[in-house]
Amino acid sequence: MSVLEFIKECQEKVFAGTHISAEDAKKLLNIPDEN
């Protein structure tokens, strides 16, 4: 998923009234846990 798609998805979730968690963000962006 590109960053642009990620941002769009986050905005859709916010507008829909559901908040995106840090875990969801990590899953969507596929960020490895470093710290």
Task: Give CA torsion, residues 11, 13, 14, 19, to 10 deg.
Answer: -130
pLDDT band at 31 (very low <50, low <70, confident <90, very high): low
Q: Distance between terminal CA atoms of the chain?
A: 22
**Mean pLDDT within 23-34:** 73
Tell me, yes or no, if the pTM score tops 0.85: no
pLDDT band at 3 (very low <50, low <70, confident <90, very high): confident
**Amino acid present at 20:** I
- The domain limits of the chain are 1-35
pLDDT band at 22 (very low <50, low <70, confident <90, very high): confident
Please tell me the distance from the alpha carbon of residue 10 to that of residue 18, in angstroms, as a whole number. Answer: 9
Q: Are 20 and 27 in contact (CB under 8 A)?
A: no
**Mean pLDDT within 22-35:** 72
Q: Which residues contact 10 (CB under 8 A, 6 or more apart)?
A: 20, 25
pLDDT confidence of residue 17? 67
pLDDT confidence of residue 1? 65
